[in-house]
Amino acid sequence: MLEARGICAGYGDLEVLHDVDLSLGEGEILAVVGSNGAGKSTLMRTLAGLIRPRHGKIEFGGQDVTSLPAHRIAELGIVYVPEGRRLFGRLSVLDNLLVGSFVKRTRSERAKNLELVYGLFPVLKERMQQKSGTLSGGEQQMLAIARGLMACPKVLLLDEPSLGIAPVIVDRIFEVVSKLKALGLPVLLSEQNVRRALQVANHGMVIQTGRVVMRGTGAELLASDRIRRAYLGM
Ligand SMILES: Nc1ncnc2c1ncn2[C@@H]1O[C@H](COP(=O)(O)OP(=O)(O)OP(=O)(O)O)[C@@H](O)[C@H]1O
Ligand SMILES: [Mg+2]
């Protein structure tokens, strides 16, 4: 459903991603694992159309989207939830959610989507009128994911949703990722919480300094000595 081949991308003269291939199937979760600076966010930004790849091709549902601008990619249903949340802190929870449904196609779905996200994250319903800047870090992360869901994603790009969040909220976030999987929504999940990410994922890929160095099913990668040593501290 989302396919990238031979992606090279970076910033200015700096090439960060070297010849990256990726394939995300229907209803599948693909975990992108790697240490700080490996290029996970750069990969997501490239897929979201925020960075134009220098080489390579990106296809979505058979359509070549390589050179489409970010807003067109979002309209097609590739929805990016960036690292660090990027909420409108002075707006209420509800207004942040409504910003998520700015894409024309999604407006008629607003009521239904609100119901969906309030079901996934009841705390957001309780705090509908609260300014998002005053939410806890974990609640803000929930809101960022919920805002992404308001855009009727066909694919969700989730960049480090568990970063800097208390363990109990991390559980909540991974529960929601499992629910999205059950709903059949494909998710590209970047995580430093390697164990949790590979547990929920169908497939995983490991990026090191911008290259894919390992691929496998979540279970295969969890069992691999190399992963256990490098990322699981075993
Ligand atoms: N806007 C930018 N301008 C220049 N270089 C950048 C920019 N953003 C990222 N980089 C560089 O690109 C490389 C990959 O960064 P990226 O953010 O993709 O890594 P990451 O795997 O997401 O890391 P983290 O786990 O810390 O989020 C790093 O060396 C980083 O310094
Ligand atoms: Mg990152």
Q: What is the pLDDT of residues 19-74, one digit of tens each?
A: 999 999 999 999 999 989 999 999 999 999 999 999 999 999 999 999 999 999 99
How far away, in angstroms, is 32 Cα from ligand 1 center? 14
Q: Is residue 151 situated within a structural domain?
A: yes
| CB of 83 sitting under 6 A from ligand 1 | yes
| pLDDT of 107 | 82
Q: Is residue 125 situated within a structural domain?
A: yes
How far away, in angstroms, is 160 Cα from ligand 2 center? 7
Domain identity same for 28 and 92 = no
Confidence grade of residue 85 (pLDDT, cut at 50, 70, 90): confident
pTM for this prediction: 0.94
Alpha carbons 122 and 69: distance in angstroms, whole number? 34
φ, ψ of residue 185 to 5 degrees: the values are: -85, 120
Domain identity same for 12 and 93 = no
For 70-85, what is the mean pLDDT? 91
Domain identity same for 47 and 108 = no
Q: Is residue 191 situated within a structural domain?
A: no
Structural domain that includes position 151:
86-156+168-184
Q: Is residue 195 situated within a structural domain?
A: no
| pLDDT of 191 | 92
Domain identity same for 138 and 225 = no
Q: Is residue 132 situated within a structural domain?
A: yes
**Spatial contact of 186 and 13, defined as CB atoms under 8 Å apart:** no
For helices 93-100 and 137-150, angle between their N-to-C axes, nearest 10 degrees: 30
Going across the sheet that includes 78-81, the strands are 78-81, 155-159, 187-191, 29-33, 203-208, 211-217
**CATH code of the domain containing 99:** 3.40.50.300
